[in-house]
Structure 1
Amino acid sequence: MTGEPPGSARSAADRLLAVLAAFDHGHPALCLTDIARRAGLSLTTAHRLVTALTAWGALERDGDGVYHVGLRLWEVAALAPRGLALRQAALPYLEDLYEATHENVQLAVRDGAEVVYVEWLSGRSAVGVQIRVGARWPLHATGVGLALLAHGDPGFQERYCAGPLGSFTPHTLTDPARLRRTLADVRRTGTAVSDRQITDDALSVAAPVRGPSGEVTAAVSVVVPHETAEVPVLTPAVRLAARGISRALGWRPGRSGG
């Protein structure tokens, strides 16, 4: 049986979080045995923790005995200021950007060295993307990620650029010097362009979203087919959406970062 090694010093909180971390986009439904294996816990410990989480509402058990993330956990997550509140403020501007382009529109925030997508509007005939709400990608490989990284702490930027930089297509930015130049261009122009970095057929144009003090808190982008992309046409629309969301969050021109 897979479980913790003898003498393990993992705290009760660590074990509880390990159970929740067993669920991800690739594993949204798990049986108890799978939870124990993915969390690195004994079956007995996993059963005790899963029972407690289910009683609280963080997990739900269906008729087949399979566990899913529960609504109570979603209710708590919705309180995150970079989650539901941000999405609600941004949605009217995301919808406007979608109506102007009829392409994929995305809103994302930074979490460590990754970008996390908090909203996504998809067009029926838009280019296919490997994105959904809650998905994560390395910062250097996406337009929103480049916009966020470019406005991050200089020390963090340097550590990130030093690598390693994962590659997904032949076009992914993996050269530290080239990435540094790209980030400088993003700061200079106010927009980021990610061309075929995750898939060979998509290009994204992104712009930073600012909070009340002018700090960059999120980024918005539109993703279009590479072959038909017209960056000069898309750029004003994306920047207008970013500016509208920033205003909705309390930013005003002339403040820091404005």
Structure 2
Amino acid sequence: MPAQNETMIERVIRILEVFGAGENALTASEIARRAKLPLATAHRIVGDLVAARVLEREPDRRVRIGLRLWELATRASSAMSLRDIALPYMEDLHAVVKQHTQLSVLDRHDVLYLERLSSKDATSANTATAGSRLPALQCAPGIVLAAYSLPAVRDELLTWGRLTEFNKQTVMGRDDLRKIIAEARRVGYALAPGWIHTDVSGIAVPILAADGGAIAALSITIKRDSADELTYLHALHTTARAVSRAMNVENLVTDPRLNLLKQQIRRATDAD
């Protein structure tokens, strides 16, 4: 159940967050259950959001995310600016490697995928889609983003980041993950062999700001133990450097210390 001192804005956000990537429509009862809100409260908030066109109601009374929310998000989102700048370079990379290609950022303890280019010629499976999330500690983009974060942000993630065992290859030990992150910083990339799908490796490199911190991660998924791994890595690094040069990083990058502060406030609020 929601905390008694939870604000209306926090409840609205919880409702919007129940719509996962690729989710079409939900009933108010389903929303209430997923958001852990009383049914009457969920009904009232959903009605207000429909009236504001943030949610849209289907003929069968189910609701889905409305175009109004997308419109508002695209106006001011630095993530959308990042995507727009990176996309032409991603398309060139995708044409060369012919593998699923992703752009992602760190959002609290998750990796949020901003864009994904799929390929019918890809040698691996990939469940990531634009708008989807994965635990940052258990995918290649999250490892490389942690590696190029401020130490305080990295420690916060290693201490509080969620762990999900996708299969027996998934690294679950926090001490092991700390060593893997340190190695990713040393070599300049992260490799996650079989962590999510046993026959698939994720490989990611950072897109760096002027101060050396990571703005985002550029990644591909490949068949595990691929002989072309070094070729793919070279192409990833070349593309990431091109994106970094194309961006006015001083204006687009958010101070990682602000992200840490937001995480600390959220954790303190959750504890109340």
Is the CA contact (8 Å cut-off) linking 2:21 and 2:129 kept in structure 1? no
> Taking structure 1 as reference, are residues 41 and 239 closer, same or farther at Cα in structure 2, changes over 3 Å only?
same
Q: 1:169 aligns with which of 153, 167, 170?
A: 167
Asked whether the equivalents of residues 89 and 242 of structure 2 are also in contact (C-alpha less than 8 Å), the reply is yes
State how far apart, in whole Å, the 2-side matches of 1:62 and 1:16 are: 20
Q: Distance in 1 between matches of 2:159 and 2:52?
A: 43
CA distance in 2, matches of 1:147, 1:205: 9
Change beyond 3 A, Cα 1:18–1:152 = same
SS in 2 for 1:223: strand
Match of 1:147 in 2: 144
The equivalent of 2:207 in structure 1 is 209
> Could you list the runs of 4 or more consecutive aligned residues of structure 1 that deviate by over 6 angstroms after TM superposition?
none
Pick closer, same or farther for the CA change 1:238–1:62 going to 2, 3 Å. same
Equivalent residue for 1:63, pick from 59, 75, 83? 59
> Superposed, which structure 2 residues align to 1:21-60 within 5 Å?
21-25=17-21, 27-60=23-56
Quote the sequence identity (%): 34
For 1:223-246, what per-residue CA distance to the aligned partner results, in whole angstroms no more than 9, with x for missing partners?
A: 111143422211110001110111
Q: Which has the larger radius of gyration?
A: 1
Cα offset for 1:70?
0.4
Aligned partner (choices 228, 232, 235) of residue 233 of structure 2: 235
Deviation at 1:211, TM superposition (A): 2.8
CA distance in 2, matches of 1:157, 1:232: 27
C-alpha displacement of 1:53 = 0.9
Distance 1:22 1:204 in 2: 27
What secondary structure, in the 3-state scheme, does the structure 2 residue paired with 1:220 have? strand
Tell me what 2:186 maps to: 188
State the Cα deviation string for residues 34-74 of structure 1 (Å, max 9, x = none): 22333333443333222221121100011111100001111
CA deviation vs aligned residue, 1:99-124 (integer Å, no higher than 9, x gap): 11101111100011111110100110
Tell me, yes or no, if structure 1 residue 160 matches structure 2 residue 175.
no
Name whichever of 74-83 and 96-105 sits farther off: 74-83
Structure 2, unaligned stretches of length 5 or more? 251-272
What TM-score do you get using the length of structure 1 for normalisation?
Answer: 0.86
Q: Measure, in 2, the Cα distance between the counterparts of 1:149 and 1:24.
A: 24
Partner SS, residue 45 of structure 1: helix
Aligned equivalents of 2:14, 2:179: Cα separation in 1 = 39
Q: Aligned with 2:75: secondary structure? A: coil
Q: Report the 3-state secondary structure (helix = DSSP H, G, I; strand = E; otherwise coil) of the residue aligned with 2:149.
A: coil
- The answer to which of 189-198 and 103-112 deviates more is 189-198
Match of 1:79 in 2: 75
Measured after TM superposition, the shift of residue 169 of structure 1 is 2.1
Q: Which amino acid aligns with 2:41?
A: T
The 10-residue stretch of structure 1 (145-154 or 165-174) with the greater mean CA deviation from structure 2: 165-174
- Tell me, yes or no, if the aligned pair for 1:107 and 1:221 is still in contact at 8 Å: yes
Instruction: Kindly indicate whether the alpha-carbon contact (under 8 Å) linking 2:21 and 2:130 is maintained by their aligned counterparts in 1.
Output: no
Q: Indicate the residue corresponding to 1:226 in structure 2.
A: 224
Evaluate the alpha carbon distance shift between residue 27 and residue 248 of structure 1 in structure 2; reply closer, same or farther with a 3 A threshold: same
Across the aligned residues of Structure 1 and Structure 2, the Cα RMSD in angstroms comes to: 2.4
Query: TM-score, normalised on structure 2?
Result: 0.82
CA contact (8 A) 1:77 1:83 kept: no
